[in-house]
Amino acid sequence: MLVGSILGFAIGFLLPTESQHSILAMQWLESLALGIGRYAVVPVLVFSLTMAVYELRQSGGFWRFVLKNSLLIVLSSGFVIAAGILVSVLFAPQRIPIGLTGQFEALNIETAGSVEALFPANMFAALAGDGIYLLPLCVFAFFLGMGLNYDRNFAKPVVALIDSLSRIFYYIASFFTEILGFILIVLAAFWAIRYQSVLQSGVFRDLIIVLGAFALVFCFGFLPLLLYLLRPKENPWRILYGLFGPAIAGFVSGDVNFSFIVLTRHLKENLGVRRRACAVSLSLCAVFCRGGSAMVAAVGFIVIISSFAYLHIAPMTLVYIGLQALLVSFMLVRHPGNGAFIAIAALCLMYGGGEFRAGYLILQPLAFYLIAIGTFIDVMLSAFISYVAAHTSSYVAVAEEKKTINNFI
């Protein structure tokens, strides 16, 4: 994955940015690459989560494990948002010219529609979606897993079938992780083409540096420190190395669902997290753990406010923005691929009408970068939460911990 990404970046920086035909071709290739990466997400999630709910209910630890993951998601999201806002105040990026605007488009997070879609008139309709909105699938798997505990004798054949399907689709998904390095060449090349255009303008330089530096320090400085404090005898860099592949996939693709299969395999085969823990943690994180995207949105929104006015932002206003960003992070369930930019638009709408309503347009040229940084942190937080929740609940294969990390990067 690392080699594929580097190769893609090199190709992208060599390609001309002025050719409209090249841009259209890369957009089509990006859509195809994302589809391939998300191809096996739905069956793996449904069958693995169903078995996880069934097994955790058998052992009596389901609700306790769900509560632990939920608390970790809320705490980690709140912390990363607060830290991002603090950094944006201490190292304030330069103002962005208001003239850099595009065509206004009403962007929203579709909260009411998201809730309504959780319970379609036909339960099986949840399986017939486009595979982007995962929460209805999680609800379906939850009820199916609960239903398998009703009568164990009658449920045995169904349990055996679902368990087999879970393992078969995991094997199929593993094939796509093997070819993901080639897929990332396309995504990285298109990423680099857009980055060239942003560099030429020069107005987003400070914001790029602040967000990039924060992501690196947080993920490769603060998270290893936390891992060391939680498990002093375990090398935190070893753990991060085992999760570096999903982080690369998340950054280059900018899509949480795209990283789901990669993260599932790396947690299981690199760090020994059992299926029952991995499925529950990653399902919750894929839907609700969007603290990184919300942090990027909060920082971007502060830049928007400072760009519209030279006024000093009061501390209580910063707290208000942080709380709004935290709330928005749990409402990005329908936006796995553009969460950070949608969150910025939501903050502009929630803050007030008038000029701020379309304030997100000044960051539109940088949307791909904001989404990449947000997704990168989201994936690292999801991996951290899944690993910590599994270890503190003893859902880790001891034999796997003694093995050398498989090099899937």
pLDDT in tens, 368-379: 999 999 999 999
Question: Average pLDDT, stretch 12-28?
Answer: 82
pLDDT given at position 73: 96
pLDDT digit string (tens) for 139-177? 999 999 999 988 778 889 999 999 999 999 999 999 999
Indicate the range of 27-41, 52-66, 267-281, 355-369 predicted with least confidence.
355-369
pLDDT given at position 106: 57
Determine, yes or no, domain membership for 316: yes
d(CA 383, CA 230): 15
Q: In DSSP terms, which residues pair with 273 in a beta bridge?
A: 396
Does 328 have pLDDT greater than 80?
yes
Determine, yes or no, domain membership for 407: no
Determine, yes or no, domain membership for 406: no
Does 400 have pLDDT greater than 50?
no
d(CA 363, CA 81): 19
Longest dimension (CA), the chain: 70
Q: In DSSP terms, which residues pair with 396 in a beta bridge?
A: 273
Cβ-based neighbour number of residue 256 at 10 Å: 28
**Which CATH number does the domain housing residue 181 bear?**
1.10.3860.10
For residues 33 and 254, is the Cβ–Cβ distance under 8 A? no
Token output for 60: 């009596």
Angle between helical axes of 244-253 and 2-14 (0-180°, round to 10): 30
Determine, yes or no, domain membership for 301: yes
Question: Average pLDDT, stretch 48-57?
Answer: 94
pLDDT given at position 151: 79
For residues 342 and 335, is the Cβ–Cβ distance under 8 A? yes
d(CA 315, CA 299): 14
Give the burial class of 328: count Cβ atoms within 10 A of its Cβ; 0-12 exposed, 13-18 middle, 19 or more buried.
buried
pLDDT given at position 353: 58
Q: What's the number of domains the chain is made of?
A: 1
Question: Average pLDDT, stretch 83-104?
Answer: 79
**Containing structural domain, residue 55:** 2-401
CA distance to 211, 298, 324, per residue, from 305 (Å): 17, 11, 15
Q: What is the C-alpha end-to-end distance of the chain, expressed in Å? A: 5
For the chain, the average pLDDT equals 88
pLDDT given at position 22: 77
Percent of the chain surpassing pLDDT 90? 60
Question: Average pLDDT, stretch 196-202?
Answer: 82
pLDDT digit string (tens) for 112-125? 778 888 888 888 88
Determine, yes or no, domain membership for 328: yes
